[in-house]
Amino acid sequence: MVEKKSDSNLMKEVLSWVWTILLAFLIALFIRTYVFELVDVPTGSMLNTIQLDDKLVVIKFIYRFEPIKRGDIVVFKYPDNPSVNYVKRVIGVGGDIIDIKEGKLYINGVLQHEPYIKEPMVGNFGPYKVPKDHFFMMGDNRNDSSDSRYWAHKYVSKDAILGKVVFRIFPLSRLGSIK
């Protein structure tokens, strides 16, 4: 009789552990899918704002409560290959006309002050009219960035945006918010 009771207790203990592990897995899956995610930056297209190999926190639910704005740094599915995620800055929103003349960015005819870019931009691009519910993206390292200027599908749809980059967690020497 004692053996059966201990076998029963052992089975309850094992089931308790399985249930706890399963619940933890489901909570982690929910958080990663809907709340936030950590991403690595493998390229220098966002220098000097984001460095190579930075680890960033991406808030996924934020755009349920606020609109996507010019200047936001976002993670999105690359329009020419949706299996790849990119990190870029939102430059234009639906309805904007983006024009780059002699390396200077104009949005709706207004020259933009961009203190975050790595170096002065080179070239002429556009004009581009951003469709409704779409966005024009550029890296801060303008002269070394694969961005909306060069893609076959120039604009990122709202549905392709995975979240907003808000915080750098690694390396610790640069820990802090991203702007």
Question: From first to last of its 179 residues, what are the pLDDT tens digits of the chain?
Answer: 445 567 788 888 888 899 999 988 888 888 777 778 888 888 899 999 999 989 999 999 999 999 999 999 999 999 999 999 999 999 999 999 999 999 999 999 999 999 999 999 999 999 999 999 999 999 999 999 999 999 999 999 999 999 999 999 988 887 778 87
SS3 19: helix
Q: What would the two tokens of residue 156 be?
A: 């990122």
Measuring CA to CA, which residue among 39, 26, 6 is closest to residue 166? 39
6, 12, 88, 146: the active-site residue: 88
Q: Is 45 a catalytic residue?
A: yes
Q: Is 88 a catalytic residue?
A: yes
* Structural domains of the chain ordered from first start: 35-170 (2.10.109.10)
pLDDT in tens, 13-46: 888 899 999 988 888 888 777 778 888 888 899 9
Q: Which residues pair with 55 in a beta bridge?
A: 40, 170
45, 60, 118, 148: the active-site residue: 45
Query: Which helix or strand (DSSP H or E) is residue 18 part of?
Result: helix 2-34
